[in-house]
Structure 1
Amino acid sequence: MTTTEAQNAPGRTSGAVDAISQVDLSLVRLPLHAPISDAKVLTGRQKPLTEIAFLFAEIRTEGGFEGVGFGYSKRAGGPGMYAHAQEIAGELIGEDPNDIAKIWDKLVWAGASMGRTGLTTQAIAAFDIALWDLKAKRAGLPLAKLLGAHRDSVRCYNTSGGYLSSPIEQILDNVTASLARGIGGIKIKVGQPDTREDLRRVAKVREHLGDTFPLMVDANQQWDRATAQRLGRELERFDLTWIEEPVDCYDAEGHARLAAALDTPVATGEMLTSVSEHWDLIRQDASDFVQPDAPRVGGITPFLRIMTLADHRKLSLAPHFAMEIHLHLAAAYPGVTWLEHFEWLEPMFHERLELDNGRMLVPDRPGLGFSLTDQARAWTSDRVTVTAAG
């Protein structure tokens, strides 16, 4: 653990309401109960997932306000994200925390030679999310209310119970448990080398759920265009809510062709790390459900820009992962929304999000409405504090 001082920190301007005085960064490693696998593992492109690395940013101001935000990596990249965040954290010291867009631009330019997508923006996300949390806490409002909520709850589907590493019998047990908990939709993974096995598993889950309960599938980019079109047609009979990432996430043309050919909606976008990459999908009509991830695209500031673009095309919104953040953003979207449920992060936060009749309720706590537990502190592998010079 180390403490550093920001060099040449900008002074507080005379008109500023407040100023950032301290930034704490933590690298936290969350272990999973058991290794999990999706189609990327079965095709040999990745190893089973055993832990998630989190970059937490805790920002404090001279006025006594605090905000917390995070970024994450499900495989390689966590230490690199943490290292980049340490390099640029000093840029926040002395800034007015209300000037979030200005600060976002400043952080991007601080690491401009590394680009404006990928690891650099994911490191910025932790700061940006913390600043929005702080701003909402200052206002005494849940973030959804600060942004302007269209609803006080969001339809919620579960993903964590549907991985390919679980046999179909376990999947069905997980589905039953999710329904008892109040989940409003179920997503399972597909994309196995044997497509007949995919169809068999989907048929079993559809039979278990009944004909009308919302069911989604996710191929995690492991089909080529021809396979996606053929399997997409065979999956039509299951009345799916969507088919997710049927082809490579950067293949906007392939997604667009599939979306035009199928009755089943197409969803994609979770792997993208910038507004411009999402715009490429949106402008080509490549998906019916856009799936941005605030920690991946650089935080809430760019996420709001993606929401505006999606709303312009009247698309539906289904943010990826991080329900603790995305619940507020989905509640503030004017169109159709879904929220992805993962219980994996629950040990890190004192608070719990509530489910009711298939929907997740927006909490009435100020800001994002979560705080870190002692367990999260115990999983911290490194921590650094950045303050003003002198």
Structure 2
Amino acid sequence: MPDAIRHLTLSHVVLPLDNPVSDAKVLTGRQKPLSETVLLFVEVLTEDGHRGMGFSYSKRAGGPAQFTHLREIAEVAIGQDPSDIAKIYESLMWAGASVGRSGVATQAVAALDVALWDLKARRADLPLAKLLGAHRDSCRVYNTSGGFLQAGVEEIKEKATASLEAGIGAIKIKVGQPDWRTDLDRVAALKDHLGDVPLMVDANQQWDRARARRMCRELEQHDLVWIEEPLDAWDAVGHADLSRTFDTPIAAGEMLTSVGEHMALIDAGYRGIVQPDAPRIGGITPFLRFATLAAHAGLALAPHFAMEIHLHLAAAYPTEPWVEHFEWLAPLFEEKPEIRDGRMWVPDRPGLGFTLTQRMRDLTKETASIGRP
């Protein structure tokens, strides 16, 4: 008899940041400073006693909606064979079809999808990257958390130096301020401080097409690894145009919440770096679907946030990727990723290689128990 999903535990977790951070969306008045990350955790138990853990997340809004949506539809997974991940994914999407196939709907399902992949790799006694078919045992890693706009240049320099001393290989800072000259001054100062260390910048969607072209032209001199989200995230044509115009690569895709939205970039002739986010695109199952298409199109990969998941997915990508380092989720996991020599190393533990802490339990605001304990 095949195994079957017996029980699901859903947890709504609110993780406060030690210090609120601001990107360009805050300085342009479109959003408030980010003070917490809200997560949806799913723990799976099967009839044969196998377990898996996965998560999704939201920033500023959407966390309660993710929890509520998955609690409403997750019953359809009970009794299904946990090996049939794609089939389960489709059944969940059909169960919630009235709210669509992107946004909160996919982000809610993502947590369960990730948990099933974690379970499958744990049952095989393999790290997830090895189960998928790894191309490498480590990935280039860059830090973002020290480069937000509420911090002055000297503070960013100090944090960048600390990141490099911790073994991280590259630094990303935020741009997109109302005064574009301030952006250029900050980039020049960090480039001078870092020397040959790779540097990326992220405008968080705050330029229009005219300003983006001017800024990309000004930034060419700094030999950046990439310029991220210079335009609205859904402006596939604009991002494609920039990617074909400038030598500095254009990075985009972190905000997109379906394979179709990501494919709009490729269909528009995009030649940049794609940044799919597994919890946002709907989980590992749709992430892998898009990654295959992106690799076929010859695009580089740099998944957004959630390094605990994306380390494995990046390690399985054909060409050399980047992984984004954020320490924000560290209180939720017993283990820490190994970082040295500018790279993050795939753990040799089965599955994702991470287990939940008591701190995660303490931060849980609500749980839902589905199926038979």
User: Is TM > 0.5 for Structure 1 vs Structure 2?
Assistant: yes
Q: Which of 61, 77, 80 does residue 95 from structure 1 map onto?
A: 80
- The 8 Å contact of residues 242 and 264 in structure 1, kept in 2 or not, is answered as yes
Question: TM-score, length-normalised on structure 2?
Answer: 0.99
Contact 1:315 1:336 (8 Å CA) reproduced: no
* Equivalent residue runs for 1:335-350 within 5 Å: 335-350=319-334
**CA displacement 1:199-243 (0-9 Å, x = unmatched):** 010011100110x22100000000000000001000011000000
Aligned counterpart for 1:263 among listed residues 247, 254, 264: 247
Q: Which runs of 4+ in 1 moved over 3 A?
A: none
* Corresponding residue SS for 1:150: coil
State the 1:349 CA deviation: 0.2
Give SS of 2:204's match.
coil
Q: Determine the C-alpha separation between the residues in 2 that align with 1:287 and 1:177.
A: 33
Q: Unaligned stretches of 5+ in structure 1?
A: 1-15
Could you tell me the TM-score, scaled by structure 1's length? 0.95
Q: For 2:135 and 2:345, how far apart are their aligned partners in 1?
A: 13
Which residue in 2 is equivalent to 1:9?
A: none
1:60 to 41, 45, 55: 45
The 2-side partners of 1:257 and 1:118 are apart by 26
**What whole-Å deviation, never above 9, does each CA across 1:19-54 have from its counterpart, x for those lacking one?**
010000000000000110000000000000000100
Describe the SS at the equivalent of 1:334: coil
Q: In structure 2, what is the Cα distance between the partners aligned to 1:44 and 1:99?
A: 45
1:296 counterpart (253, 263, 280): 280
Amino acid at match of 1:371: T
Taking only the aligned residue pairs, the percentage that are identical comes to 64
Quick check: 1:259–1:266 contact (8 Å CA) kept in 2?
Answer: yes
Task: Identify the match of residue 252 of structure 1 among 226, 236, 240.
Answer: 236
Q: Is 2:129–2:313's contact at 8 Å kept on the other side of the alignment?
A: yes
Residue of structure 1 aligned with 2:180, choices 195, 199, 210 = 195
How far apart are residue 62 of structure 1 and its match? 0.6
Any conservation in 2 of the 1:94–1:388 contact (CA below 8 Å)? no
The whole-number CA distance in structure 2 between the counterparts of 1:235 and 1:247 is 15
Match of residue 12 from structure 1: none
Pairing of 1:180-191 with structure 2 (within 5 A): 180-191=165-176
Q: Distance in 2 between matches of 1:38 and 1:70?
A: 24
- 1:66 and 1:253 mapped to 2: Cα distance? 43
1:30 has 2:30 as partner: no
Tell me how far apart the structure 2 counterparts of residues 231 and 345 of structure 1 sit (CA, whole Å): 33
The aligned amino acid for 1:314 is G
In structure 2, the gaps of 5 or more residues are: none
Aligned-residue offset at 1:92: 1.0
1:1-390 matches, cutoff 5 A? 16-210=1-195, 212-388=196-372
After superposition, the CA RMSD in angstroms is 0.9
Distance 1:344 1:134 in 2: 24
Q: How far did residue 287 of structure 1 move?
A: 4.3
Instruction: State the SS of the aligned residue for 2:42.
Output: strand
Q: What whole-Å deviation, never above 9, does each CA across 1:128-185 have from its counterpart, x for those lacking one?
A: 0000000000000000000000000000000000000111110000000000001111
Measure, in 2, the Cα distance between the counterparts of 1:183 and 1:107. Answer: 38
Opposite residue 370 of structure 2, the aligned amino acid is V
Equivalent-residue separation in structure 2 for 1:96 and 1:125 (angstroms): 18
